[in-house]
Amino acid sequence: MRVLLVDDETELVETLAERLAFRGVEADWVGGAADALERVKTKAFDLAVLDVKMPKIGGIELKKRLQALYPAMKFIFLTGHGSEEDFTAGAAEAGSNFYLIKPVKIEALMKKMNEVMQHSGESR
């Protein structure tokens, strides 16, 4: 599984990428939407893990752009929102039920990544 982690909190995604690597996941990370759109030009990813709130282009808009370029790519959102209820509207707009609230447990992320890869239709 090749995963792209996108969050303007680069220390977060850098650490997360290392922890995922320990678990056999090939994870790259970038600090924003513009870098993500560049990275996918040179490397194929099965899944993108996106922060919802990022400068200029947020995760929901980034998902739309990536999906237009790579329809097979799957998505998980990370959010700092305090409750799942808070995020429901945004996730519905993005067409995805796959999201996790920060701080995230690595086991929960691994489980969600496996789920999203198995439910190819739901995240589109």
Partner 1 sequence: MSHSDIMAESGLRCFGAVSASISHELKNALAIINENAGLLEDLSRMAQNGRPLAPERLQVLAANVTRQVRRADALIKHMNQFAHSVDALVACCDLEDVLSLAAALNSRMAAMKGGTLLLEPFAAPVRITARPFWIQNLIWRCLNELLERPDAEKQLHLNARKTPGAAVITFSPVDNLLTTPHIPGVLNLLKAVQAVDFQNRELQIVLPEDIFATRDTNSD
CA distance linking residue 32 with residue 30, whole number of Å: 6
- Find out whether 45 and 37 touch, Cβ atoms under 8 Å: no
User: Which residues make up the interface to partner 1 (CB under 8 A)?
Assistant: 8-9, 11-12, 15-16, 18-19, 22, 53-56, 80-82, 102-106
- Find out whether 95 and 87 touch, Cβ atoms under 8 Å: no
- Find out whether 32 and 5 touch, Cβ atoms under 8 Å: no
Strand order across the 2-6 sheet: 26-30, 2-6, 47-51, 74-79, 99-101
- Nearer of residues 1 and 34 to partner 1, judged by Cβ: 34
Chain length of the chain = 124
CA distance linking residue 76 with residue 116, whole number of Å: 8
- Nearer of residues 8 and 115 to partner 1, judged by Cβ: 8
CB of 24 to partner 1, least distance (A): 13
- Nearer of residues 24 and 121 to partner 1, judged by Cβ: 24
- Nearer of residues 9 and 35 to partner 1, judged by Cβ: 9
CB of 121 to partner 1, least distance (A): 30
CB of 1 to partner 1, least distance (A): 18
CB of 109 to partner 1, least distance (A): 10
